[in-house]
Each structure stands twice: as structure tokens, then as C-alpha cells.
Amino acid sequence: MPLEIGEIRVNVPRRYWVPLVVIASIFSVALHFYRAHGEALEFASQAIRKSAAIQRRIGDVQEIRLGILESYKERFVGSTMYVHMAVHVAGSSGSARVVIDLRRVTGVWAIADASIGTESIDLN
């Protein structure tokens, strides 16, 4: 079964498709596990739980999770790490999708920006 990418044509025999899909799936799950248990999400979770703005909107925070299809990007510029993520936050009276931009400079995390929908919120 040929796979065409622009001008490049690659023939991948059918017997290799299943192992390739299994390897890609395992890699995706491992990457999600790394992101869902990393420093950035831990810092963001603490800030979300302490936020009066989020508590007013959805009540006491009960669950914060990074969905497998949610946005998560890491970028390094020198020794500074930038993280953009979207998390699902469930509370006692509702839920929301919170988009957060973080940065880590010399090991110290800070929230650069946070929003629910188009509304900017203060998590500092």
C-alpha cells in the first residue's frame, strides 16, 4: 500500500502497519503520562486551586486534568522554559476549560497568562 507525501512515495507492507500503530500508541500514552505528571501541570494545578476567580465561576475545584487531546506545548529559549496548556477543571457547581501560559526561569515557575474562553483570569 503506497503512502504518498508530496513527491515522496513510500511502500509500507501491511504486516508492518500493526506494529507501527502499536508503537505510535504506546509513545502517545507515554508522552501524555509525562505531561500529566510534570512540574508545569503541578504548578498550574496549585494556582488553579487557590484562584478566587475560578472558585467564583465553578465552585470548589474538585478535579483538574489534562485531556489526551488538549493543547500542550513546551518551548525552550536558552534556560527559560515556556509551557502553553489547556486543562479541564471541574468544580462543585460547573466546569471550565482553562488555558494557561507558564514560564520557568532558573527553576522558578510563573504564570504569564490564563483565561477561560475569551475572559482573562488572574491566577497569581
CATH at 107: 3.10.450
Instruction: At 19, list the grid cell.
Output: 506494529
Q: What is the pLDDT of residues 29-67, one digit of tens each?
A: 777 666 766 889 999 999 999 999 999 999 999 999 987
Q: pTM value? A: 0.73
- Residue 114's pLDDT band, with cuts at 50, 70 and 90, is very high
How confident is residue 86, by pLDDT bands cut at 50, 70 and 90? very high
Residue 110 lies in a domain: yes
Give Dmax (Cα) for the chain. 56
Q: What residue spans of the chain are helical by DSSP H?
A: 14-36, 39-50, 52-58
Domain count of the chain? 1
Q: What 8-state DSSP symbol labels residue 37?
A: T
Per-residue confidence at 102, pLDDT binned at 50, 70, 90? very high
Which domain covers residue 47, as residue numbers? 38-120
